[in-house]
Copies of this chain bind each other. A is one copy, B any other.
Amino acid sequence: MVKYQNIANELRKKIVSGEYPPGTQIALERELCEKYSVSRITVKRAVDELVKQGLIVKRRGSGTFVKSVEDSDMKALSMSRQFEGFTESYQGKKVTSKIIKFSIVHPKEDIAAKLLLKSDDFVYDVVRVRCALDVPIVIEYMKMPIQLIPGLKKEILKKSIYAYIQNELKLKIQSAHRRICAVMPSKEEKAYLGIESTLPLLEIEQIAFLDDGRPFEYSVSRHRGDKIAFKSVSVR
C-alpha cells in the first residue's frame, strides 16, 4: 500500500466514524505533511481521493471541510471502489444466480465492434437471473470474448464472474462505460423476475475494460425498479 492511499484511508475512517463530523474542518495539508512525514503533494493526492469520492470539499484560502452527506451515503461512498459486479454490491447478502443460457457464439456485428472483435471470433453468450436472498433482482445479458476470459464455466456463472476474472485469471478491471435508462420488461422478463404488476426496469448497458484497455464485457442488465437504485457522485 502506498503512502497516499494510507493517508486517504485514515482520513476516510475519521470522517465515516464521525470523528470529523459534517461541516468541520479537517487538518491542514501542511499539518498532515508533518503528521505523516510526507511531502505536500502526497497529502494533496490523499485528500483529492476523498474529494473525488464526494466526502469533502476544499476551499482555497480557507481549508478543507467535511461535506454534509447522509450517513447511508457516507458508507456507500466510502465503500464503493465504484467497481463491482452485482455480487460485490450485495456483499453480506446471499447472492445466487439462475443460468438461463450459456453458450458460445459468433458476436453480432455491432457487439463485435464494441468488443474489438471480428465476426468470426467467439464470445460467450450468457443470460443470468441474479437473486439476493433468493429474490430475483436482475436479468443480465452478457457477451464476453473467449480469448480474454478463458475457462468460464457454469459453476463460475452461478457465483461471480468478476471474482473469477480478478482472483483466478489475475486480470485487473480498469473502467466501465455505462448507459442507463428505463424500460418495460418483456413477458419473459416478467416471468423470470417474478413481476406480476406493472413495474419498470432500470437498464444498464455496460462495456467494461481491462487494465490494458481491452474491452472484455458487453452487457445489458435489467434491474427491478423497486429493488435497485444506482448511485453516482460527479465532481467538478
Contact = CB atoms under 8 A, between A and B. Distances in A.
Contact of A198 (B184, B203, B234, B236): B184
- Integer count of this chain's copies in the complex: 2
A47 to B, nearest CB: 14
Contact of A178 (B68, B179, B182, B232): B232
Interface string A136-167: 00000000000000000000000000000000
Interface in A17-74: 23, 41, 54, 56-57, 59, 62, 65, 67-70, 73
Contacts of A180: 180, 202, 229-232
A201 B200 contact: yes
A215 interface: yes
A232 B70 CA distance: 23
Contacts of A175: 54, 57, 233-236
A198 B201 contact: no
Contact of A114 (B70, B177, B182, B199): B70
A178 B73 CA distance: 10
B177 A209 contact: no
A174 to B, nearest CB: 6
Interface string A193-215: 00000111111000001011101
A83 interface: yes
A187 interface: no
Contact of A57 (B70, B116, B213, B235): B213
A69 B177 contact: yes
Contacts of A114: 70
Nearest to A172: B236
A233 B176 contact: yes
A178 B234 contact: yes
A165 to B, nearest CB: 15
Nearest to A233: B177
A126 B180 CA distance: 26
Interface in A78-110: 81-83
Given A174-B236, A175-B234, 8 more contacts: A59-B212, A68-B215, A70-B113, A176-B233, A178-B232, A178-B233, A180-B230, A182-B200
